[in-house]
Amino acid sequence: MQGAKPVGCIAYPALQIMVGILTIAVILMIVCEETPAQQSPSSLYNALKDLGNFVKNLSRIEAGVRSAWVRDFYSRQALERITNLRSAWNASNFFVLYDVIVPEVQCPNLVRVGSVVDGGKYVCNPQAIDTTMCRIYSLGLDDEISFDVQIQNITGNTCKIYGYDQQEQSKGTKDAYSRMNGKLKAVLISNEKGNRIQDFFDENGDKFTDILKIDIEGAEHNVLIPFLSNKKYKVCQILIEIHGQADAQLHLLVLIAKQGYALFSYEINGGAMSACEYGFIHMSCLKQYEAVELKRYLPSVK
């Protein structure tokens, strides 16, 4: 006997048809509302702008319907995930951690920015960055700045980007940073006053960053949570390589999640199981980046 189809499978094609019909209807309304002689450039511009917003809102609804069945499916799996991760809380092997974790939100345009090998980072919908006053913080460089260069290409170098590393960078890196609206500083990132993440923000007069990229070879376990727990500052996306055994990684994942962040991607380091790239987005930034919540489970692990 044929089973019932999931709700999303029925609703999605119907919604696509509805979007098409409504879009055509709005275009006809714009064209027919005024005669060519009456139409001014500003009225046409405003009408097209309204149409763009209308279609964008419909796309968000469509994305929500499309991910509804995933949301329901992951919701039913959440307890099993939490139970298994709790069992791995003190386990050093990666079998459970890497098998069990899945994204907690769905990004419409999940793209790898930077090198396609080591150095690239997955970003949630980077074209949605507000380029009028954006900030990017890049902690840990080692003269590998392919991410920094490419994210600035995407934003048209409109963001101010700050790079920090314990070593002085090469002339090539310094020149590249100066060309892309960047600023470099050689500093050992730690919890010592003057070397903390919050100190960097204060030096630059910032309380917000669109992206915080972190690759600091294990120091993330000590410096990140003290910064995130200070509500003076806000970060939309955290792109972080976490080092250590499975239990140490899991502990930090849960602590990040409890600061209001949801996992949107992860990528195991092919060269070492004890390192993994994770992407988090703050729940308050989902709308800006058009991300859809699936099911959050990490905050409930401990």
Q: Please report which confidence band the pLDDT of residue 4 belongs to, taking 50, 70 and 90 as the band edges.
A: very low
Do 27 and 155 lie in one domain? The reply is no
Based on the fold, state whether residues 271 and 187 are members of the same structural domain.
yes
Do 120 and 31 lie in one domain? The reply is no
The answer to the question of residue 81 being in a domain is no
pTM tops 0.85, yes or no: no
Check residue 75 and give its pLDDT: 96
What pLDDT is attached to residue 25?
62
Would residue 151 count as lying in a domain?
yes
Pair (112, 256) in one structural domain = yes
The per-residue pLDDT for range 163-212, each reduced to its tens digit, is 999 999 999 999 999 999 999 999 999 999 999 999 999 999 999 999 99
The alpha carbon dihedral of 187, 188, 189, 192 has a sign of negative
Say how many domains are in the chain: 2
Residues 145, 18, single domain; the answer is no
Same domain, 282 and 200: yes
Does some domain include residue 72?
no
Q: Helix, strand, coil % (nearest 5) of the chain? A: 45, 20, 35
Rg value, the chain, Cα: 22
Provide the CATH number for the domain around residue 116.
3.40.50.150
The verdict on residue 71 lying in a domain is no
In a domain, 76, yes or no: no
DSSP 156: T
* Cα gap 50→196, rounded to integer Å: 45
pLDDT digits (tens, 9 = 90+) for 120-150: 999 999 999 999 999 999 999 999 999 999 9
Question: What is the rounded average pLDDT for all residues in the chain?
Answer: 88
Same domain flag for 106 and 196: yes
For residues 21 and 145, state if they share a domain: no
Q: Is residue 105 part of a domain?
A: yes
Decide if 85 is inside a domain.
Answer: no
pLDDT at position 286 is 98
Evaluate whether residue 73 is within a structural domain: no
Pair 162, 233 in one domain: yes
Compute the average pLDDT of residues 28-36: 57
State the residue for tokens 């009028």. Answer: 132
pLDDT at 251 over 80: yes
Contacts of 181 (CB under 8 A, 6+ apart): 152, 157, 158, 159, 160, 161
Q: Which domain holds residue 121?
A: 91-300
Element (H, E) at 124: strand 121-124
Same domain, residue pair 27 and 113 = no
